[in-house]
Amino acid sequence: MKKYFITGLLVWLPAAITVWVLLWIVGLLDGVYHALLATFEAVLPATAVEPLARLGKVRGLGFVFVGLAIFLTGVFVANIFGQWWVRQWDRLMFNIPIVKSIYSSVKQVSDTLFSSSGNAFREAVLVQYPRQGSWTVAFVTGRPGGEVGHHLAPEDFLSLYVPTTPNPTSGFFLMVPRSDVIKLNMSVDEALKYIISMGVVAPPVEAAVLPVPLRNRTG
């Protein structure tokens, strides 16, 4: 009975967790939609908001609304006119005390991580952590800059993010010499699966692209 129960659990558990995560996301975005609806109700006539309030009762509408709003925003700022408005918005946020420190920090991180011209989280590597001889998977986020980069020069260093397992949203920031890092051929998505599964789900590799094993390295 135990064997059959575990077998059934292995079938249903991934599906149940997937549904739970999706429902959580839908609920979160529905909350955003209702918050915006409450703002509209405070500044617009009731007759203008009533159709939106009726639609707000539909489960999952917030997901569609927020996704559509993000997409239309991307279309809007993809031209010179939209980029001008974004610059004005940034200028406004940078001139508000307290808000400017939070906004500027988040903007710099988001531009680095999600910009198509950035290199953050584009490459998975192997690095020795937390001690010599113990290896883990990390992601390259760039190179040290500013005062830190000045102190580490002239040696070539990389900035790395070492995620925790099984929750990769928390982790550690390291700056290590490029010579101490081994580049992996696996994609970032494959590396994340490998980390989240605690090494159980290993990405497939071809023999032609396999690097020299650590035990056969010299020097």
pLDDT single digits (tens) 40-70:
777 767 666 666 666 666 666 677 777 788 8
pLDDT given at position 53? 65
Using a pLDDT cut of 90, give the percent of the chain over it.
15
Put the strands of the sheet holding 182-183 in their side by side order: 171-177, 157-163, 135-142, 124-128, 182-183
Residue 167 has pLDDT above 90, yes or no: no
Separation of alpha carbons 61 and 124, rounded Å: 37
Separation of alpha carbons 188 and 68, rounded Å: 27
pLDDT, the chain, mean? 79
pLDDT given at position 100? 81
Residue 218 has pLDDT above 60, yes or no: no
When pLDDT is cut at 50, 70 and 90, the band that residue 116 belongs to is low
Residue 172 has pLDDT above 80, yes or no: yes
